[in-house]
Each structure stands twice: as C-alpha cells, then as structure tokens.
Amino acid sequence: MSKASLDSSVPVIADAATLRPTIDVARRAGKVIGLVPTMGALHAGHISLVEASRRECGLTVVSIFVNPTQFGPGEDFNRYPRTLQADLEMLSGRDDCLVFAPWAEHMYAHGHVTRVELDGPALPWEGRFRPGHFSGVATIVLKLFNLVGPDRAYFGQKDYQQSVLVRRMAADLDVPIRIEVCPTVREPDGLALSSRNRYLSADERERALSISRSLRLAATLVRDGVREASAIVAQMRAMLTQAGLRIDYVAVADRDTLAPVTTINGPVVALIAAHVGGTRLIDNELIG
Amino acid sequence: MSKASLDSSVPVIADAATLRPTIDVARRAGKVIGLVPTMGALHAGHISLVEASRRECGLTVVSIFVNPTQFGPGEDFNRYPRTLQADLEMLSGRDDCLVFAPWAEHMYAHGHVTRVELDGPALPWEGRFRPGHFSGVATIVLKLFNLVGPDRAYFGQKDYQQSVLVRRMAADLDVPIRIEVCPTVREPDGLALSSRNRYLSADERERALSISRSLRLAATLVRDGVREASAIVAQMRAMLTQAGLRIDYVAVADRDTLAPVTTINGPVVALIAAHVGGTRLIDNELIG
C-alpha cells in the first residue's frame, strides 16, 4: 500500500525531512512533545502509551517502524505483522497525534555504519538469547529521539529489560529527555498483550497463560516468605514445562543491573522468555 | 587547581546541569550555537576552529575535556597536557565564547555502559592501531552534542579519519547538526600543530618534518602523473624511515570510505601515523 493513499484522520509523515519542521511548529507553540516508538501492529498496550503521552504532552508522535536491525537471523522480521491501515484506525480521532512511519531505506541510508552498544544490563537474558537485538533497539530509539526531539518518550514495562536499557542509554548519552515506563496491559485472563500473540493458535494461547501464571506464582511465593530465588525459579520452570513451553530463561533479577538475585531481600523483577510452538513470548513482573 | 579559582574572562562551566540552561538562554535569544570540542592544550589550530565558529555562530561553546575512553592502554592519557589556565588565556577577550570543562566523574557516571561504535571507515588506519579509540571519540562527541545542542560543530582536518567518522555518526544517528571541518594549521616549516608536539625534543621536532614533507611529496608525485598508489606510498615510507621514524601506517585512501586506493583516478587522502621517539604523530593531505 502506498503511504500516500492511506485513509487516516491522523497525519502520517513518512519522510524525516518533513517531520522535523512539523514538530518544530508545535514546539515553538510551546507544546510538550511526546514520543511513542512502536513497530506497529498496535494493540491496547500501545494505546495505553499513547494515552499516557496525550495526558502529559501537547503533541504525541507515534512512530511505526519494523526495525530490521533488532531482529536476529532466523527471527520473525519477514512475517512480523505490518498493519498500517488498522494502526491508523486505532489512532483515529486523536487530533493531537501524528504518525511517523518512515521507509527502511530512509532510516538506514547507504553507508550506514553506526550503532549504539550497551554492556552491563544489556548482556544477560534477552541479550544472551538475541545477540545484537539491544544494539538494534538502542540505535533506532536514539535515531528517533534525534529525529523527533521529544521531551518525553513512553515505553511499556512488558519489554522490561529494554526499558532499563533505554533509560540507561538516555542518561549515559545525556539525551535531554524523560523516559516514562507504563504498566503492562493484559487480557482479562492474564496474557500480556503482544503483537506476536496473533501468531498463537487457540491451544497455544491457552498454554501461553502459564507465563503470566508462573509470574503470579513467583509473586505469591515471595509474599509467603520464600527468599531463595532458585526455589522460585524451579517452580516457575516446572509450571512452564508442564504447559509444554520451551524455556529460554526464567530469572529473578535486580531491577537495575538485571543481575540474577540469589536471596530476595528487596524489590526484584521476575523475567520469562519462552517459546509456545513457533512463537517466542516474553513477560515480567515487579515483585517486592 | 580548583576550577572555581580560575582567572578567566571567558565564562567557565564545569557542571552539565548549569550548561544547558545557560545555552538555552542564548538559543531563545535566536543565537546560532557553535561547538568546538577539544581536549585542551589549545594551540592555533584550535583557535582557528573557534574563530570559524565565531564567524558563523552567536555563541561558541569550547569544550575542554581529556576524554579517558579514547586513550588505549599504554597511551599517553596520564601525561596528556592539562593546561586549563593557559587555555582560558588563549580564549580571553572573546565574550561570545563559553568554556565547558566538565569533570570526568560527571561525564562517565557510576554505571555508565553505553558506547557508540562505527564500522566501515572506522576500521582501518587509526582504528587498527588504536582499538577502541574511535568508539571513545564517537561516544564523547555524541554526549557533547546532546549536552550542548549545537547547530554546528567544528573539527580539524588534522584528525581526518575522525572528521569523516563524526560526519558519518551525525548522519547515521540523525543528529540535527552541521559538521564543519577546518583546514590543518601548520608551523611555517610545515609541521602540523598538535598538542603532542610539546613532547618533542629539538632533534625529534626536526625529524618530525619528514611527515609533512612526505605528504607534500605524495601531492607532487600525483601532480606529476604518478597514478600507482603503492609507488607513492613506497617513496613516502622511505622518507620517513630515512628520518628515523617508526611508521604505524602510510596510506593513500578514498576520502569517504578510507579504503586503500590502488590506482589514483580522482580525489584521495594521503594519511600518515608515525612515532618520533616516544611521540606518535598523525597528519594527512587531500590530494587531487
């Protein structure tokens, strides 16, 4: 579909050269600029970020870009859902929003050689199972920060490790921005909303509930006084395995460094990545 | 020396939190903001950058920071000249300038884990002989861009490969800035100005002239019709070796990709890095 032919009540800009002057007009009018970076396939989780931005900002820029550099070889870049018309319909009626949907060849021009790398909290968990993923994320997020120049940017807690790294990157590189992390939106039965949920069959979707259930189990165990992380992880793994999931990792980790915790003596985060059939899902819960 | 006790007619800011509001005042007054990033030990080469900025900008921010992350193990970080009082005297009387001289612990706070990496033109020459150097440069330059928010930044052609990479990084990361590269300033006898020249004994300084002489030789050979890069490099190497220099590299390269050139059919850059006694010097010349 040509972007010019899209039917949208929200302005759509595909070209970085047009984006900047448009945002400058709003900025000069004294508006606070919010950015919600997405890969499209919008769901209620994304909309909660958009609404958080709209409450605090005069102009909300929703970027929609399936960023190739954050997908590894063999991952789902090619089949990742691209639903721009439906995305625009979900945003319609919000006249304080603007969609930035750039072309890949504009975002990564011929000769592009620069990337942002993080150590520390980027290394474990997703960093180990998806080498290069966070470098791709950090690089595209920084590019969007520079293109939009937002005062605030909104990320979902669903991608917990990502949210830690985006905060870290913004602080380390002195980006003048406030990073807001909004709660995970869930289906009534607990499944965390994800653009990848649409890959699930009915049976897989049922089995995927073991992810949020095992996170709630972890929270319950901690509330009941269990302090040994390995005991909690073992019970979580058992629940996931029972449901037929293939586990990448189950972790109880420090909320900032993401280092694994041995004894739980304060706030931690429980993290899961697991495959349900051919679909890889992640989820997490703040505990304590 | 305490920065508070410095005798300076140019305002000196050491604290990033003070810098931003100060620059914002100038920006709101409609001034174009220029940045001249330096490691101090200012000489006429730096001043030429400052003057270029002053011609084009209403406020020139001169940063002075000996950036630890761009020095490799065994390099001269500890003995690199730190001459802040003399630097301020060189800038005095320029009331459209402001010096930003941050503390290292402010620039790299506890937990800093982010770095900018470049491939392509960052890999050969300095990239090979100083692993990590360009990542350190790119990271600090991006931090300064974000702290200062300049419209333009000024770099010397003396560090040719660095200037290519800074342009590349700014384009790749969509930094809204114009990068200006100013000609190398030389002593009357041809020696390129460098803060490291002060390490040279009288004898070493004399022998160091072989660097600029061999660059001029390369230009002459090309003008006389020599097209084979290897023949030119061989003559340059002979001249440097004759003067007792230890060569890191001598190259004739593409101006953008920095890939070595075999046959000279258009504009190229000749590059040299060599040690004179304990001092490593670099220089270059645009040819054709």
Nearest to B286, CA basis, from B113, B115, B154, B158: B158
3-state secondary structure of B97: strand
Q: How far apart are CA A21 and CA A44, in angstroms?
A: 30
Q: Which of B146, B165, B177, B179 to mutate to test the interface with A (most CBs of A within 10 A)?
A: B146
Please give the domain boundaries of chain A with CATH numbers for all domains.
Answer: 3-182 (3.40.50.620), 195-287 (3.30.1300.10)
Q: Specify the DSSP class assigned to residue B57.
A: -
Across the interface, do A16 and B121 touch by the CB < 8 Å criterion?
no
The catalytic residues of A are 46
Q: Is the pLDDT of residue B2 over 70?
A: no
Q: Specify the DSSP class assigned to residue A31.
A: P
Q: How far apart are CA B186 and CA B158, in angstroms?
A: 10
Q: Is B158 in contact with B282 (CB distance < 8 Å)?
A: yes
Q: Looking at chain A, which residue has its C-alpha nearest residue B173?
A: A143
The minimal CB distance from A169 to the residues B114, B117, B122 is found for B114
Mean pLDDT of A103-116: 92
Q: Is B286 left (phi over 0), alpha (psi -120 to 50) or beta?
A: beta
**Which chain B residues contact residue A149 at CB under 8 A?**
176
What is the spatial order of strands in the sheet that A246-254 belongs to? A246-254, A268-276, A279-287
Check residue A1 and give its pLDDT. 43
CB atoms within 10 A of CB B21: 8
What's the full length of chain B, in residues? 288
Check residue B106 and give its pLDDT. 87
Nearest to A36, CA basis, from A146, A164, A155, A194: A155
Q: Is B121 in contact with B42 (CB distance < 8 Å)?
A: no
Q: pLDDT tens digit string along B69-89?
A: 999 999 999 999 999 999 999
Q: Is the pLDDT of residue A66 over 60?
A: yes
Q: pLDDT tens digit string along B127-146?
A: 999 999 999 999 999 999 99
Return the structure tokens found at B241.
Answer: 């070796």
Q: Is B251 in contact with B270 (CB distance < 8 Å)?
A: yes
Which single residue is written with the structure tokens 């200012």?
A: B42
Is the sign of the CA dihedral A137, A140, A146, A151 positive or negative? negative
Question: In this structure, what are the phi and psi dihedrals at residue B185, rounded to the nearest 5 degrees?
Answer: -95, 135
Using DSSP bridges, classify how beta strands A268-276 and A279-287 pair: parallel, antiparallel or unpaired: antiparallel
Q: pLDDT tens digit string along B16-27?
A: 889 999 999 999
Kindly report the three-state secondary structure assignment for every residue of B20-36: HHHHHHHHHCCCCEEEE
What confidence category does residue B1 fall into, taking pLDDT thresholds of 50, 70 and 90? Answer: very low
Q: Looking at chain A, which residue has its C-alpha nearest residue B139?
A: A173
